Chains A and B, each alone.
Chain A
């Protein structure tokens, strides 16, 4: 699922079409919060709480993230260990929060780099056109032509087992989506009357791009990026599930789930809880992204 890039690209294009003809008129300054429904606000608040817990939880917890606590191994949830312990007797709750923290950090890094790099390439290709456009887009096509999973796996494996190589591997396959999406948007915006009018009044080149074109595209990039974080979290977890990514004993949700599989029949929580944590993060970010998009659409009218 996390690797179906063609489908994601199509879905996004459809989403954009649904936002109406003129997302260019969007000025995402104020009123986003006021424009949200109750469910959307609840999701944003819940998301913020989860993120907050992941950020400060491990530091506040009485247990260490990587040193066994001395408690019984594979113990179920109890007053001392709310979510039980794992095969080495480490507190599972603490490790879950720490794992979420890592996932979040890594996913943000991947999304940020992919969005900035891809958008830059897309903006340049779409705005300046010509040979530059052809070259940049053929390179992009090249990346899109190979199965992303395989490239990401191969890269992560080649760079050695670490969180860094997983991040690099995923970023490398992720930016082309932004390049394609943003190029199309820029080409559309560049034909709008206000850009023509600015050109006539003498504004050219990078200045025209930065002042009259890019601001129309940034809401699209922001929404896409916020929707992407969930997918990146899933992909990272998938890579570490098959053994690429953070080496033990550092807490990583995918790895914790795969290690927990061995004890599944007797102690289901060691495998199920990390999986649920992955799902929760992905769900929250998807929902937050949707809320953001809906809010932008409303304020854009």
Chain B
């Protein structure tokens, strides 16, 4: 046992927020101990109180009276009253330092790295040493650069160097790799761990990811609804969780071992039969009718050969031909795209897509995997019709003939905050051909049924997006996209901003919708595990080209390109 004082000791900490008459108890009776030089992982979903503890320990809870706290904190043996203690001024930034989520926002864009570091280290030589410790090669050159000239991983290393420069007792790392590409995450975590160990600094590691916490921490405390529900040595908590909540959290993680059983498609013979009847009674050709399905009050039918399809409206007995289109759902042919930006009056061209071709078949799901800057998002925007191509063709055709729809990464931001869910859905219905062909009442029913389909209660109709949780917002965004089924549902990292348990259910929802509504899916992500769960095929993109195509189910074994392997290793690590 060590006789040195604990790096951090939290006793019965309770934090309450008060805003506009509402009182929220964010943290309740939390007790934590952290020995010098050790690493404690604080794991929980959003709203579990983990970030509030992080803020309390740094002494940065709001001082305007909106937050109150009881209990005590001790940092390096020095006891502090939460929030109000004047001694926080000596502690903050000296005894306790922080590595935030997004280094681009926390590094001062107007200063060079050297300028920032020298203020803490005192000399350029010491700054070089500080950068060496976070394994930055060519430290002298890096000192002369500005934050925007560095990559995300380098920036976060600089952030770690800054945080350790003053020799703190405790480093609070709040989701330090969430904003980084997967392949550099592991590296940054290793650097953080080694550097903190070398400096003898304890780390409070706040994260939502149990896997990351395990590879990083000596001990783990799992938080749920403001309380620590389970704590202990990292390996024990992960491999042998005692509490049901921890087990649930572990189970909802999406890994390359996650069981992929997909809901079967609904080959609804009854619907197909009544559809054929309806078509015949209207004197329409029903030969080759393969299957038909309903979503609420809309009914669609597909003809064999995957060559033609018909979109039909209203209820089963009142089928009207809306459109006849050709499959495949999405075909992208030799697409090139170059962005031209002006820098100091000179045009700078950046090629983002080079000769990209692929097809998405009817009811197929294809994942595009790549890191930021690989061109995958540009491709999605082109398929969505938001961007244009320089050369090549893109065509999307669907059963309902309504082109493509997008589910954006940040659902909260993609829903207009002052419009109700009902208005948002109604608007989408009113702007489609098959939607317009419905009566008012049928349109309302369709909105209601679609909400049910995505797993939301009809009472959500009256709500505004700001009144919903992140998961509910993403479901509403999906409902808007599929209320009239598009040919292709384009998903732009729809789960990266969500908690694991919610993320998993959203991925399952996408799968379910694909089969029950007969839509194809293009899923853009950097997360191979998620890609494996939702996709049939995975396309790997790097530097604007598709470099590899593998079947999703066996991607871990089949990936051959070095870049693909790196992605696999990043997930396995």
Contact = CB atoms under 8 A, between A and B. Distances in A.
B417 A201 contact: no
A210 B235 CA distance: 56
B405 A200 contact: yes
A197 B481 CA distance: 10
Contacts of A211: 416, 419, 427
Contact of A31 (B20, B410, B413): B20
Interface string B474-489: 0001001100000000
A45 interface: no
A197 B406 contact: yes
B466 interface: yes
Interface string A9-27: 0000000000000001101
B427 A25 contact: no
B573 to A, nearest CB: 32
Contacts of A216: 418
B431 A197 contact: no
B427 to A, nearest CB: 6
Contact of A215 (B415, B418, B432): B418
Interface in A164-192: 192
B120 interface: no
Interface in B381-426: 384-386, 405-406, 408, 410, 413-419
B384 A200 contact: yes
Contact of A197 (B21, B414, B418, B432): B414
Contact of A201 (B410, B418, B466, B481): B481
A198 B427 contact: yes
B361 interface: no
Interface in A192-227: 192-203, 211-212, 215-216
B418 A200 contact: no
User: Secondary structure of the B side of the interface?
Assistant: loop
A201 B408 CA distance: 12
Contacts of A203: 427, 431
B464 interface: yes
B565 interface: no
A194 B427 contact: no
B21 A200 contact: no
Residue of B385, B417, B432 with most partner-chain A CB within 10 A: B417
B432 A196 contact: no
Contact of A202 (B20, B416, B432, B464): B432
Contacts, number: 59
Nearest to A202: B431
B27 to A, nearest CB: 21
B384 A27 contact: no
Contact of A212 (B386, B405, B416, B464): B416
B415 A194 contact: yes
B140 interface: no
**Which secondary structure characterizes the binding site on chain A?**
helix
A161 to B, nearest CB: 46
What is the interface residue range for chain B against chain A?
20 to 34
Nearest to B483: A201
A201 B416 contact: no
A197 B477 contact: yes
Contacts of B431: 201-203
A24 B384 CA distance: 24
Interface in A223-241: none
Contact of B427 (A35, A201, A215): A201
B428 interface: yes
Interface in B450-474: 464, 466
A193 B427 contact: no
Interface residues of A, number: 22
B212 to A, nearest CB: 27
Contacts of A200: 384-386, 405-406
Contacts of A198: 416, 427
A7 interface: no
Contact of A196 (B20, B414, B428): B414
A79 interface: no
Contacts of B418: 27, 215-216
A60 interface: no
B417 A34 contact: no
Given A202-B428, A203-B431, A192 B413 contact: yes
B416 to A, nearest CB: 4
A202 B426 CA distance: 11
A197 B419 CA distance: 13
A199 B419 CA distance: 15
B19 to A, nearest CB: 9
A34 B20 CA distance: 8
Contact of A35 (B20, B386, B410, B415): B20
A211 B408 CA distance: 20
A212 B424 CA distance: 10
B432 to A, nearest CB: 6
Contacts of A35: 20
Given A31-B20, A193-B413, A194-B417, A201 B386 contact: no
A96 B146 CA distance: 62
A109 to B, nearest CB: 29
Question: Which residue, of A198, A200, A203, has the highest number of chain B Cβ atoms within 10 A?
Answer: A200
B37 to A, nearest CB: 39
Interface in B243-288: none
A34 B477 CA distance: 32
A238 to B, nearest CB: 39
B427 A34 contact: no
Contacts of A215: 418
Interface string A25-54: 101000100110000000000000000000
A194 B414 contact: yes
A24 B412 CA distance: 12
Contacts of B415: 194, 197
A105 B94 CA distance: 59
Contacts of A202: 427-428, 431-432
A202 to B, nearest CB: 3
Contacts of B416: 194-195, 197-198, 211-212
Contact of B414 (A31, A34, A193): A193
A300 to B, nearest CB: 10
B427 A197 contact: no
Contacts of B464: 27
B369 to A, nearest CB: 23
Contact of B408 (A24, A27, A34, A197): A197
B431 to A, nearest CB: 3
B470 to A, nearest CB: 14
Contacts of A34: 20-21
A194 B417 CA distance: 8
9 contacts: A25-B466, A200-B384, A200-B385, A200-B406, A201-B405, A201-B431, A202-B428, A202-B431, A203-B427
The 3 closest A-B pairs by CB, nearest first: A202-B431, A197-B414, A193-B413
Interface of A: 24-25, 27, 31, 34-35, 192-203, 211-212, 215-216
Interface of B: 20-21, 384-386, 405-406, 408, 410, 413-419, 427-428, 431-432, 464, 466, 477, 480-481
Given A201-B480, A202-B428, A202-B432, 13 more contacts: A24-B417, A27-B417, A193-B408, A193-B413, A194-B417, A195-B416, A197-B408, A197-B414, A197-B480, A200-B386, A201-B428, A211-B427, A212-B416
